[in-house]
Amino acid sequence: MRRSEFILPEGIYLDGNSLGPISHFTRACMEKRLQEWQDHAVKGWEDWFTLPERLSPTLAALVGAKPEEVITTGTITQNLHSLLGTFYRPTGAKKHIVATSLDFPTDLYALKSWADRHDAELRLAPSRDGYTIEEEDLENLLTDDVALVLLPVVLYASGQLLDIARLTQKAHEKGIVVGVDAAHSIGSVPHQLHDQQVDFAVWCTYKYLNAGPGAPGGLFVHEKHFDVMPGLPGWWGNDKHTAFEMKPFYRKGHGAAAYQTGTLSPIALAGVEGGLKPFAELGIEAIRERSLQLTEHFMHLIDEHLPEVEIVTPRAQARRGGHVSIRHPDAQLLSLALRDRGIIPDFRVPDLVRMAPVALYNTPEELENTVQVLRELLESKAYLEYANKKTQVV
């Protein structure tokens, strides 16, 4: 769709769901901010101070929110702590937290720490197959003594897309606050966070939004909560018109902007500015359509040519996100062998090779070539040579 706008590493890049590549435009945005720093030094803040708010209209369209319901700030982990510090309000017996056993660990670390503070349990929905979660199993945990549930939109390992509308409704019927982690769905799948009445959400921008390693993440707070005081306030979340009055008390900014905490790098924010451009131009619906075509094609090729592997990503369009995960006992070795041959997937424990055919820059031919190389590897068993070359980060 926009391949020529990206500066892709050599070979076939299938890891954009881990770290999206840089585009020419993003590079130019970052260079512009560097130049401003060089030319204006501290005076640069006159423009940079409100940059996060100015990104909100495009961001809002990606998650189905109003612009004032979203803000670019923090990391997922930090934002999650901040939102739990605000919306996790255990009262009496209604104090437990629910998540899934397949959530990304940082979410579970944050949730557990808040549950521990309140002598509450973190209850995890089990997985029947080790890769996916049945909505029914999550629903069974949404009991009267639960105060908050955190839902992943797309599971980071298998790529399963959960039914957020259904789960949010069920949780709200029991008076349970609903938070959402959209790390693996933002920029790949459309969301309806406002209409579905989700209470809060978090995401990062370094995956499908291509904002760069460690770029600031983002969060959503439903407007029904705009009168709530942030649990972890900071001066960037103070009303920006009055921030430099330096008053000793916090005057809450409007909407999600109130959840900013401290100073953000305009250079890092430039990555978000640049990354959002193709999304503003194409719209998330068209991007999702192309993503579905690519993943469909990829799964079809895998089925046809790679009988030794099992696709653990659900097949139904409504149940899968933007990446495809295949299972093989030597997944880590296959992943290393692919990387050595110029194809970049990643490995996720214990036995998954995870590959994202990204709508903005991957092509059907790249998927065909990837399957061909995998076929050769499985046939020759050349991947076994990598047994003593395992690394920590793949």
Ligand X SMILES: Cc1ncc(COP(=O)(O)O)c(C=O)c1O
The residue ranges that bind ligand X (CB under 6 A) are 75-77, 104, 106-107, 152, 156, 181, 183-184, 204, 217
Q: Is the peptide bond before 216 cis (omega within 30 degrees of 0)?
A: no
Report CA 356 to chain centroid distance, whole Å.
13
Length of the chain: 394
Q: How far is the CB of 249 from ligand X (least distance, A)?
A: 29
Choice among 327, 351, 354, 361 that is catalytic: 354
Choice among 207, 240, 288, 320 that is catalytic: 207
Residue type at 46 in one-letter notation: E
Location of structure tokens 């495809």: 324
In the complex with ligand X, which residue's Cβ is closer, 96 or 184? 184
To the query of whether residue 207 is one of the catalytic residues in this protein, the response is yes
Alpha-carbon distances of 156 from 18, 182, 354, rounded to whole Å: 9, 10, 9
Tell me how far apart the alpha carbons of residues 351 and 360 are, in angstroms, rounded to a whole number. Answer: 28
Tell me how far apart the alpha carbons of residues 120 and 95 are, in angstroms, rounded to a whole number. Answer: 6
In the complex with ligand X, which residue's Cβ is closer, 152 or 159? 152
Number of Cβ atoms within 10 Å of the Cβ of 136: 10
**What crossing angle do the helices spanning 76-87 and 105-117 adopt, rounded to 10°?**
30
Contact between residue 143 and residue 179 where contact means Cβ atoms under 8 Å apart: no
Q: How far is the CB of 100 from ligand X (least distance, A)?
A: 11
Token digits of residue 25: 């435009």
Choice among 49, 104, 226, 250 that is catalytic: 104
Q: How far is the CB of 156 from ligand X (least distance, A)?
A: 4
- Specify the DSSP element, H or E, that contains 179: strand 177-181
Token digits of residue 117: 């503070």
In the complex with ligand X, which residue's Cβ is closer, 152 or 179? 152
To the query of whether residue 206 is one of the catalytic residues in this protein, the response is yes
In the complex with ligand X, which residue's Cβ is closer, 204 or 360? 204
Q: How far is the CB of 255 from ligand X (least distance, A)?
A: 22
To the query of whether residue 354 is one of the catalytic residues in this protein, the response is yes
To the query of whether residue 6 is one of the catalytic residues in this protein, the response is no
Q: Which residues contact 246 (CB under 8 A, 6 or more apart)?
A: none
Q: How far is the CB of 105 from ligand X (least distance, A)?
A: 8
Token digits of residue 233: 């306030």
To the query of whether residue 224 is one of the catalytic residues in this protein, the response is no
In the complex with ligand X, which residue's Cβ is closer, 183 or 267? 183
In the complex with ligand X, which residue's Cβ is closer, 68 or 107? 107
Tell me how far apart the alpha carbons of residues 345 and 335 are, in angstroms, rounded to a whole number. Answer: 6
Q: Where are the alpha helices (DSSP H) in the chain?
A: 24-40, 45-48, 51-63, 76-87, 105-117, 135-139, 164-173, 266-282, 284-305, 331-340, 364-380
Q: How far is the CB of 207 from ligand X (least distance, A)?
A: 7
In the complex with ligand X, which residue's Cβ is closer, 107 or 330? 107
Q: How far is the CB of 7 from ligand X (least distance, A)?
A: 22
| DSSP label of 262 | S
SS3 98: strand
Tell me how far apart the alpha carbons of residues 63 and 386 are, in angstroms, rounded to a whole number. Answer: 41
Choice among 206, 220, 298, 347 that is catalytic: 206
Active centre residues (catalytic): 104, 181, 206-207, 354
